[in-house]
Structure 1
């Protein structure tokens, strides 16, 4: 009887360990959860194909950097006119690092007085979608490990004492928050436009940068309820969060999208620039 009881205890312990290991390996992070939205038809249909546009600026240049996984990462950089340890990392939405993102990055660079290095980071490894079907496929194919390695490589492109801010939209909005968490004590500001918030309070505790969250009340994916939960989680983690919400739809700040809301975009951008200037003094 004692032997049987011992066997039962051992089996129970092994099952507990197995269950815990299964839960850990199957945990779905925020970026993966958002990427899987690409499999939903309603999400794809909420994104009209981008309007044609060719970037004509001359201030930015393509850059290549090493990533911790032994590969190369790519980006598009606007270098401060005077030596600066301030860096803003811009992360594209689901179409990739296209000419619209380059244009928006240049606008941020100019409006920050050309005193902040701005790097648009390519998490798609030089793939750019021109329609929602391809964007859906590419976004779903992004591996968290690879995207994280690209961000780490982009951070290493800056000097060790750099002050890091992040900004992104949609797919890039969620990654802006993840990147700010990865920046640790170097992180000074994070702006996320309608991206998937991190739901694990323990993960949010790694965050040092204050966050400006810009969301749309008509968003059927990053819903007002998701935003409210994010507020609670950030409060539980003891982190700083400012939220701006607009009576607009998901993707309202994308000028290549027919649902573009110029009024909401202008107001949100004003908040974003003010926020970035405050923390990138």
Structure 2
């Protein structure tokens, strides 16, 4: 009798266990996409966006022309060109902030053009004609810019300058990151690279391929491209056997943009002199 009861109880427990709802395993949330570019994740961060007030309205009415050039992906891209007054194989590629190729960048390009003398200056349009006037628009444009398209535009600009061109690059914020990437793509044509508070490339193997030194201009109060990030970049450049000169100002992110409320006139003017002298020495005859 006891054996029958035990057997019956065992069968009951087995049936009960079978009928009970199974415990669901936690399903990891899939990552729907990888970042479109190295600053894409930062672009969607409200704290990073808060570092950029909407730019003041500014209209550029100086010299220069929009030009088109082909890109390796079978498309075309454009840029704002200030052609050297005398034939020259020296080029400065100018890379925009996250706003796009707006009139402020065109003005910056003209300023360097006038001071460098006999250097072709091309401000590259990295958004294919789109320009943001609000931080919300800029967030969308920068976060959705595809890495392969950005690289193709840069390669197209380098090819437009020509195989004999001696090239230096400069950029701010998003463009600071692009300036460094451009220098890597330029190979032996690279003669100089200035990056204003842009996210540095941290891949040591990629940095090893640089054929130029780098001038990095940053702000100690920058909560986006932090001093810790800059220190890491310096360490990685040392590991790569490359030279970087860093100038850290007691200023915020985008301190050199006159259309930004955090514009620091004294720091911006000093940084410009530093950048100009660097570029003159690298693009000298």
TM value normalised by structure 1: 0.88
Is structure 2 residue 25 aligned with structure 1 residue 43? no
Q: Within 5 A, what are the aligned runs for 1:205-220?
A: 205-220=208-223
Give the SS at the match of 2:161. Answer: coil
| Distance in structure 1 (CA, Å) of the matches to 2:273 and 2:155 | 29
Give 1:95's aligned residue: 99
- Spell out, residue by residue over 1:71-110, the C-alpha distance to the aligned partner (whole angstroms, 9 max, x if none): 0101000000000000000000000000000001000000
Distance in 2, Cα, partners of 1:63 & 1:108: 19
Residues 60 and 104 in structure 2, CA contact (< 8 A), matched pair in contact too: yes
Query: Structure 1: which 4+ aligned runs deviate by more than 2 Å?
Result: none
CA contact (8 A) 1:207 1:239 kept: yes
Specify the alignment match of 1:52 in structure 2.
57
Matches within 5 A, 1:265-280: 265-280=268-283
RMSD between superposed Cα atoms in Å:
1.2
2:85 corresponds, among 72, 81, 88, to: 81
Per the TM alignment, residue 36 of structure 1 is displaced from its structure 2 partner at its CA by 1.6
Based on CA coordinates, which of the two structures has the bigger radius of gyration?
A: 2
Q: How many residues align?
A: 252
**Contact 1:188/1:208, CA 8 A, preserved across alignment:** yes
- On the 8 A contact 2:170/2:193 being kept in 1, the answer is yes
Structure 2 unmatched runs, 5+: 1-32
8 Å CA contact 1:85, 1:163 repeated in 2: yes
Name 1:14's counterpart in structure 2.
none
Aligned residues of 2:167 and 2:190 also touching (Cα < 8 A): yes
Query: What is aligned with 1:111?
Result: 115
- Structure 1 portions without partners, runs of 5+: 1-25
Structure with greater proportional helix content: 1
Find the partner of 2:137 among 113, 134, 141: 134
Distance in structure 2 (CA, Å) of the matches to 1:229 and 1:45: 24
Pairwise CA distance, 1:35:
2.2
Contact residue 35 and residue 171 of structure 1 kept, 8 A: no
Q: Is the 8 A contact 2:39 2:142 kept in 1?
A: no
